[in-house]
Amino acid sequence: MQTRLFGKDFISTEDWSVDELTAMMDMAGDLKRRFAIGEPHDHILRSKTLFMLFLEESTRTRNSFESGITQLGGHGIYLTPSATQVGHGENARDTGGVLQRYGHGISVRDCRTGIGQAYQYELANEVDIPVISMQDDVDHPCQAMADLMTIREKFGNNLSGRKFVISWTYAPKYVRPLSVPQALVMLMTRFGMDVTLAHPKGFELMPKCLDSARQHAKENGTKFEIVNDMDESFKDADIIYAKSWGPIMETEEPVAVQAMCDQYKDWICDERRMDLAKPKSIYMHCMPIDRGYEATNAVVDGPHSVIYDEAENRLHIQKALMALTMGGHL
């Protein structure tokens, strides 16, 4: 088991080896067991502090990180641009340089296209304590790791030949980032699964993420394909991950986005489509889910759904991540 992870940043799964990512999942399993039986583990990060900077809203990420560090004996501080001088333009060097004098880790959610992940790497360059992505424009590494942990719980650790589908769905209201589908195609191709990405034309992902997925598939003997037909993608799938994202490679202008999305209102995950997948397939979504648009209630609340397991595993994965990167050696 790879254990020399103290001080390591976690901005993208791409920066961690398969051994390191597996160590995180192993540790998460152990912490999940301890949590389940009420075995104390609050010595692991006693008196340590994680600064959590959010540029966007969150239910799962904030509460799982904050609960997680509390359970490990430390403290999480919720920060926003308007509650700090980040909102007045204080740069990464000054913000990070000061925070690292007070605490032991910095986590950031910043999904601004072309800015979010770059800011985190800039911050990581300026500080010695670990920088953790809580989602950006490119990756959502903690979500993808929680999802992978969930898949391993359902299907076992040998995922060779399992068909993983990430399909675009329609959703109204706001432009969702590309980071979840990108995180999934980059990670699942490294862990034995044959990955199918389905979306209408115009909803492509960032070329560098597609290139990574292709490269991982080549190196790991897995498959990666892109199709423009939702029904075709669902056929014989083991894992269905169906969610919306914006046509960000083309436009983020809200009226234009909605016009593009409105052409594909029939891209919904419903029982008819779930019947195209294998009988023991699972239905996944990172949440928040737009019920009735991205998926029907019958699917979201149905027998294939594992969405609360995924959300729960955010807690255990992030505790493992914090323990490994912020805990350190005796």
Backbone φ and ψ of 198, nearest 5°: -120, 130
Angstrom CA distances, 285 to 9, 25, 38, 81, 149, stand at: 26, 19, 28, 28, 14
State which residue, 58 or 215, has the beta carbon closest to ligand CP: 58
Judged by CB, which is closer to ligand CP: 194, or 294?
294
Chain residues binding ligand CP by CB under 6 A are 58-61, 135, 143, 286-288
| Separation of alpha carbons 113 and 171, rounded Å | 20
Q: Cβ of residue 330: shortest distance to ligand CP, in angstroms? A: 33
Q: Nearest approach, Cβ of 275 to ligand CP (angstroms)?
A: 27
Whole-number Å distance between alpha carbons of 130 and 133? 10
Q: CB 138 → ligand CP: shortest distance, Å?
A: 14
Q: Which is nearer to ligand CP, 3 or 59 (CB)?
A: 59
Q: How far is the CB of 286 from ligand CP (least distance, A)?
A: 4
Query: Residues with Cβ < 8 Å from 169, sequence gap 6 or more?
Result: 242, 243, 244, 267, 268, 269, 293, 294, 295
- To ligand CP, the closest distance from the beta carbon of 207 in angstroms equals 24
What end-to-end distance do the CA atoms of the chain give, in Å? 17
In the complex with ligand CP, which residue's Cβ is closer, 61 or 296? 61
Ramachandran region of residue 129, left (φ > 0), alpha (ψ -120 to 50) or beta? beta
Return the structure tokens found at 136. 């950006």
Q: Cβ of residue 145: shortest distance to ligand CP, in angstroms? A: 12
**Residue in the structure block whose two tokens are 């942990």:** 149
With respect to ligand CP, which residue has the nearer C-beta, 139 or 194?
Answer: 139
DSSP of 273-292:
HHTTS-TT-EEE--S---BT
Q: Which is nearer to ligand CP, 58 or 84 (CB)?
A: 58
